[in-house]
Structure 1
Amino acid sequence: MGMLMVKCPQTAHAIPTGIKIDRESFGRSAVFFSRTRCPFCRTDHSWFAKDAWVDEPGIGVRRRLTRLNLDTEH
């Protein structure tokens, strides 16, 4: 499970939408439109699902560990 994130158009910071979902479920979801309050510029941002991504902590760590394991096996 991860947090659905969008990018603040004013500051370019990644902001959490408050929606917890995994990548597979998000990929299967219908196209939708939503609003999220930005803690950086204190504005409500409107966004479509195509503008969002799932931030799953540990995914990058697992990928790096897999690469390290593959590199040390050679």
Structure 2
Amino acid sequence: MKIVMARCPYRGQPVSTRIEIEDATFAALPDTLILSRCPLCGLEHVWWKAETWLEEAGHDKPASTAED
């Protein structure tokens, strides 16, 4: 499963919509509006599907560091 990503219109940074979807299902969706609350600014934003992209789940987790 992948996460639908979008860009916050106020901060200009990529954010997770927290919507998990398979590649084929996402590709089959029409260019429709997606509504979700932005974790950066806390506001609800509306994005067109064409403005979004998929990323692997867990991409925003901090990388673990090896301890000696």
Mapped partners of 2:12, 2:23: distance in 1: 22
* C-alpha RMSD of the superposition: 1.8
Long gaps (5+) in structure 2: 58-68
The structure with the largest helix share of the pair is 1
Q: Calculate the TM-score normalised by the size of structure 1.
A: 0.66
Identical aligned pairs, as a percentage? 28
Aligned to 1:42: 42
Q: Please give the TM-score of this superposition, normalised by the length of structure 2.
A: 0.71
| Structure 1 stretches lacking a partner, 5+ long | 58-74
Q: Which runs of 4+ in 1 moved over 3 A?
A: none
Kindly provide the amino acid, as one letter, of the partner of residue 8 in structure 2.
C
Q: Distance in 2 between matches of 1:26 and 1:54?
A: 8
Shift in Å, 1:47: 0.7
**1:15 paired to 2:11:** no
Q: Any idea what the Cα deviations from partners look like across 1:4-51, whole Å, max 9, x if unmatched? A: 011001112211112111223211212211211112112111111001
In the comparison of the two structures, how many residue pairs are matched?
58
Structure 1 or 2, whichever has the larger Rg, is: 1
